[in-house]
Chains A and B, each alone.
Chain A
Amino acid sequence: MIIDSHLHLGYLSGFYNYDATYTALINMMESLDIGYAISSSLYSLDYGDMEKGYLMDIEAYEASKGRILSYYVYNPHEAEKSLSLMEKYANRDIFRGIKIHPSWHGHFADDEKYRPVYEYARAKKLVILSHTWTESLTNPVQKFSVPSHFEKYVSEFPDVTLILGHSGGRFEGINEAIKLGRKYPNVCFDVAGDIYIDGFVETLILNAGAEKVLFGSDYPMMDPRIMLGVVMGSGISEEDKEKILCGNASRLFGIGVGREA
């Protein structure tokens, strides 16, 4: 069984999306033996209507018989509302963590506006998944999410697990992410996105440890088959592949311990 810990339900504007419904996601999961998926709804994360996004998350959970799980979204522009909605939709069978996206929300990851989400995650024992990337000339908002900006909170909240989504994204960001991960036990990584640099998976495992790396696809923008092939074809041991594709997410999110429907 595979667990995809970084994907999205819904549509992103600006290009032609194929079928991004939960039905398509369930079919994809069936075809690739993905047992569980943890989504942050694009309706909450990008479009910005968190509550409607959560209702869509709940619908997907029910339709998938408990296999599509979700992240809450924390928007630093609406901190109070974000936290109150997490309280309102407090079903931890469905919502297993919190997603933040400093690039889309336009605040540096070490901004004080992010303090409440780390406090909430600590109090509720929730994992945080953040978008991370490398500074980019073509996409300047990525500067908000470079891995070094996360050090402030991971050092201050050692009991909160932070997953560096995309592991820093490009060569420089990946190296920065690895430095952070080596220094702080509460920092993990995922391989979601178009991070196809040759040797990426092997480098992460060698430098950060197989226990810290999770499989993610960034579906539907990214086809999960691609990173699945990269992990399967990588030069790491079968034990480590199993940890990346399933074991680590199972441990971090409590999947497979009887909480699922």
Chain B
Amino acid sequence: MVESMKGKVDVYRKAKRDLHFFDCNLWWDSANSRSFVKYDSFEGFYNSLKENFIEKAILTTAESNRYDTKTGNEALKKLIAGKDNLYGAMVLTADHTITGENIVAYIDEMVAAGFVMVRVFSRQNRHPLKKSSMGDVFAHLNSRHIPLMIWHAEASWDAIESLCSEYPDMPVILEGNDMKLLYHNRFYIPLFKKYPNFYIETHNLVLFKEIDILAGMHPEKLVFGTYGLYNAPDAAMSQIVFGDMDVNTRYMIAHGNLERLIAFIR
């Protein structure tokens, strides 16, 4: 029995390795106190990625989200510097509309430093996702094809749909946390079918068979993410490894779609 288990585990590990995972939703949280796995340093965390078969990742810092966006973004710039397999996700708010900062120049500077995605937490940071507050952010992301990632609990579905329709060249990547994403599938599945620029990050597609069914609709619009370091990477990987999909689709979701999105950034 144990030998048989070892055989299954070996097959599973090999399948993970062969998929060359590119994680678009990886977090570094130096103040994480609600986790069973502790990392003494960022380097320790970074080294663990290889053991977990994550070959590349887009990293966000909790500091950008829970402390101060600019401070966190700057810290992240240093963390990813010199690491070819790490990209950054910058968090933006509406502060530039208050201060008069040139947000377009800021975004360009960050992209030049290895940032490939923008995230907004409009409920937590208390700002609407409208031009009156966000200024030229979305128009600029649209013109450069820079992806925007949004938690489902951080924006209304109407706001998400408006972003998709008004900025068709800006990939909008939905990710789910806190409340189960599955409870909202009557909202996001129609958006997934309707808007070519509406993508879904996979880690919270937990409803039975949902990932297979979405992959059957638009395999090119699912991008792999783990929500590590909070979540066990296997939770997201196993869905792809055991997915009821062909090999090509598996590769697209595991890494290909995200590589394509990044290559499209102007």
Contacts and interface: CB of A to CB of B under 8 A. Distances in A.
Nearest to A20: B208
A219 interface: yes
Contact of B185 (A16, A219, A232): A16
Contacts of B238: 225-226, 228-230, 232-233
Interface stretch (B82-90, B111-119, B227-235): B227-235
A119 interface: no
Interface residues of A, number: 44
Given A171-B34, A194-B180, A18 B2 contact: no
Interface string B182-219: 11111001000000000000011011111101000000
Given A220-B208, A223-B210, A232-B8, A198 B183 contact: no
A55 interface: no
B242 interface: yes
B207 A222 contact: yes
A229 B242 contact: yes
Interface size class of B (residues with CB under 8 A): 35 or more
* Residue among A18, A172, A194, A226 having the largest count of chain B Cβ atoms under 10 Å: A226
Interface stretch (A36-44, A75-83, A237-245): A237-245
B246 interface: no
A171 B243 CA distance: 28
A223 B206 contact: yes
B35 interface: yes
Interface of B: 1-2, 5-6, 8-9, 12-13, 16, 34-37, 178-180, 182-186, 189, 203-204, 206-211, 213, 227-239, 241-244
Interface of A: 14-20, 28, 31-32, 138, 171-172, 194, 196-203, 219-230, 232-234, 238-239, 241-242, 245-247
